[in-house]
C-alpha cells in the first residue's frame, strides 16, 4: 500500500497537524509506504501525476454529487491519496486540482466520532489525517499498525 499525503503548505508548521504523526509512525515499519507531497495550486507535483497515471489510485474524500464512492468490500487500490489539511483547505485543494477529480473516491464511515481534540472538527464524523490512515490500515488488515497510530495520536493530544 502506498499512501500519499497531499499536504497544504500551511499545515507543515502546525503542532495540530497529524500528517507528521502518520509519517513518523509509518516510517518505522516497511509494510506501508507513506509519502508527503506539498500541494501547489498552479504546478502539480510531477511524481504524483506520474503515480496517478501508472498506479491504481483513489482519493479519500467525499464523492461529488451524482458519483458513487468506491465500495470498501474489495481490496483497497494500491495508491491512496489523502488531503492533509483543514476541511476548508481540503475543499479548495480538491476544487483547484482537476487531476484528482477522475479518481475513485473513498468515503470512510467511522463507527464513532473523531477523538481528535487539537482542532475543532468541521464536519460531523470528520476524521483527522491520522484517524483516516488508521481506518485505511484496518481495512487493509493491519490492525496492529492502526492501533499504534491511534495510540500515538492519543499521546500527542495528551501533551
pLDDT band at 109 (very low <50, low <70, confident <90, very high): confident
Spatial CB neighbours of 27, under 8 Å, sequence gap ≥ 6:
34
In DSSP notation, 9-44 reads GGGTT-TT-SHHHHHHHHHT-SSSEEEEEE--SSS-
More confident residue, 26 or 31: 26
Which of 20-24, 116-120, 122-126, 153-157: highest mean pLDDT? 20-24
Q: Are 127 and 149 in contact (CB under 8 A)?
A: no
Contacts 24+ apart (CB under 8 A), 43-50: 44/97, 44/99, 48/4, 48/6, 48/81, 49/99
- pLDDT mean across residues, the chain: 87
pLDDT band at 6 (very low <50, low <70, confident <90, very high): very high
Q: Where are the alpha helices (DSSP H) in 19-128?
A: 19-27, 46-54, 87-95, 98-101
**Lookup: cell for 22:** 502518520
Cα torsion 115, 130, 8, 156 to 10°: value is 70
**Lookup: cell for 89:** 483547505
Q: How many CB atoms lie within 10 A of CB 124?
A: 7
- Which letter does DSSP use for residue 75 in this model? P
pLDDT band at 64 (very low <50, low <70, confident <90, very high): confident
pLDDT score of 57 more than 80: yes
Amino acid at each position: 500500500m502506498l499512501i500519499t499525503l497531499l499536504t497544504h503548505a500551511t499545515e507543515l508548521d502546525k503542532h495540530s497537524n497529524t500528517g507528521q504523526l502518520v509519517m513518523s509512525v509509518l516510517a518505522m515499519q516497511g509494510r506501508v509506504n507513506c509519502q508527503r507531497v506539498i500541494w501547489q495550486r498552479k504546478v502539480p507535483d510531477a511524481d504524483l501525476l506520474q503515480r496517478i497515471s501508472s498506479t491504481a489510485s483513489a482519493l479519500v474524500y467525499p464523492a461529488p454529487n451524482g458519483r458513487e464512492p468506491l465500495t470498501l468490500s474489495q481490496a483497497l487500490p494500491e495508491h491512496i491519496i489523502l488531503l492533509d489539511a483543514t476541511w476548508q483547505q481540503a475543499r479548495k485543494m480538491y476544487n483547484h486540482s482537476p487531476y484528482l477529480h477522475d479518481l475513485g473516491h473513498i468515503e470512510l464511515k467511522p463507527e464513532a466520532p473523531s477523538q481528535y481534540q487539537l482542532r475543532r472538527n468541521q464536519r460531523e464524523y470528520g476524521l483527522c489525517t491520522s484517524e483516516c490512515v488508521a481506518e485505511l490500515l484496518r481495512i487493509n488488515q493491519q490492525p496492529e499498525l492502526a492501533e499504534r497510530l491511534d495510540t500515538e495520536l492519543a499521546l500527542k493530544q495528551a501533551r
